[in-house]
Structure 1
Amino acid sequence: MAQQTVAVRGVSVRLVCAAFRISETCYRYQATLSDENAEIADWLVKLTAQGSDWGFGRCFHYLRNVEHQGWNHKRVYRIYCALALNLRIKPRRRLKRQTPEPLKEPIKPDQVWSMDFMHDQLSDGRCFRLFNVIDDYRREGLAIEAGFSLPTLRVIRVLDQLLEWRRKPTAIRCDNGPEFVSHEFVSWAMRRDIRIDYIQPGKPQQNAYIERANRTIRYSWLSKHLFDSLEEVQDYATQWLWFYNHRRPHKANGGKPPLMVA
């Protein structure tokens, strides 16, 4: 209203500010960060479009730790809300369960590896499985093996390939699946002097690290893409695993990717 009065009636700025009871500083103020705000908005739109499971925290950690941008988190969050990028929070169903044994947390790399299976389908309806292995300390993804059938010998082969370039873990944490309780797998672990930590039946929270990794795999790419062949699945999994270890921020690591943690 003050600016319109000055433009139409030719009244002085001092008189208009006194009439409308505003300061001359407020009248003359002009935003100087519009270009930078547009850059932040472009980053947020691009990050949430590439990974729809990314909320504000992961986007901010990516900008701060991976892209090394120094923007304040309040400013980024204000633009994040203005763009209506807030993710819907799904309410949790409260279930009464027996208290399981506490989760054993590692204190150094290659102390405990966790592994588990996942299931999905190709575009022609054929079912396939993923065998996932992570290092619990830094949540580092070690392997994602795709196959129509992943028996015990295939599991042992994947672990032998890992041990060619990784230090031997003290223990391997897994559920009570037939591939993990077989005589071949137990004998392999004894020869390697690796302890097998089986979780309690029906207590997947005792294997929380790999279960959380499975969820990330499911919502980041497995449920988003329809693959025509097993080779496409394996190629995409290998590329995503590199991105997960080198570029994707992780809350457990203070917002840094697993391989950026000292």
Structure 2
Amino acid sequence: MHDALAEGRRIRLMTVIDTYTRECLHIEVDTSINGRKVTEILQRLVEANGKPKTILSDNGTEFTSNAVLRWSNQVEIDWQYIEPGKPYQNGNIESFNGKFRDECLNENWFLSLADTRRIVRKWVEDYNERRPHSALNGQTPRELASQLCVENFLPLREETTLTGTSN
């Protein structure tokens, strides 16, 4: 996903969600995102949240890079790719990205990378903590994640899929 700063410089965004809880785990904002950066982000997420069973992504070069293939083999996470030109195979992230674009990217004028990151963090906080989802029986993603932790489904994301895209 991409956008631009007010001065015209292009920025790239990589979104990562948990498909079970719908929780947005991270949105990376930078001028470029390569395979090495993807592995650094995902390693931090694994350390903070536990290892998912599967990661599902599009076929962007940052996700098909040798760095990503090595990392997923090393940490023993099944990495699956959607078929090229079939974004509906990754409907959860596509829906999330549509909301994110409509409600955050299209509604803000970003002055700098730092400004963009601050605005995106606030949007993610609102999305995760204050917005009920009909698919979650009216719970927020954070409420469902907390409930699962209390019910001893730890590590929380072991049986779920992380979904990422940076188109």
- Is TM more than 0.5 here? yes
List structure 1 segments (4+ residues) > 2 angstroms apart after TM superposition: none
Is it true that 1:215 corresponds to 2:98 in the alignment?
A: yes
Q: What letter is aligned with 1:229?
A: S
The root-mean-square deviation of aligned C-alpha atoms, in Å, is 0.9
Q: Percent identity?
A: 41
Q: Equivalent residue of 2:63, what SS?
A: helix
Q: 2:68 matched to which residue of 1?
A: 185
Q: Equivalent residue of 1:130, what SS?
A: strand
Q: 1:161 matched to which residue of 2?
A: 44
From the two aligned structures, give the one with the greater helix fraction: 1
- Residue by residue over 1:157-207, the C-alpha shift from the partner in whole angstroms, topping out at 9 and shown as x without a partner, is 111111121110011000111111111100100000000111111110001
Higher relative contact order (CA 8 A, sep 6+): 2
Structure 1 position 225, deviation (Å) = 0.6
From the two aligned structures, give the one with the greater strand fraction: 2
User: Match for 1:237 among 113, 117, 120?
Assistant: 120
Structure 2 Cα separation of the partners of residues 241 and 224 of structure 1 = 14
Q: 2:134 matched to which residue of 1?
A: 251
Aligned length: 145
Structure 2 residue runs without a partner (length 5+)? 148-167
Q: 1:11 matched to which residue of 2?
A: none
Q: Equivalent residue of 2:49, what SS?
A: coil
Q: 1:137 matched to which residue of 2?
A: 20
Q: 1:201 matched to which residue of 2?
A: 84
TM-score scaled by length of structure 2: 0.84
Q: 2:35 matched to which residue of 1?
A: 152
Structure 1 position 139, deviation (Å) = 0.6
Q: Equivalent residue of 2:62, what SS?
A: helix
Structure 1 Cα separation of the partners of residues 50 and 83 of structure 2 = 27
TM-score scaled by length of structure 1: 0.54
Structure 1 residue runs without a partner (length 5+)? 1-117
Report the structure number with the largest CA radius of gyration: 1
Q: Equivalent residue of 2:48, what SS?
A: coil
Structure 2 Cα separation of the partners of residues 210 and 177 of structure 1 = 14
Structure 1 Cα separation of the partners of residues 73 and 50 of structure 2 = 16
CA contact (8 A) 2:35 2:62 kept: yes
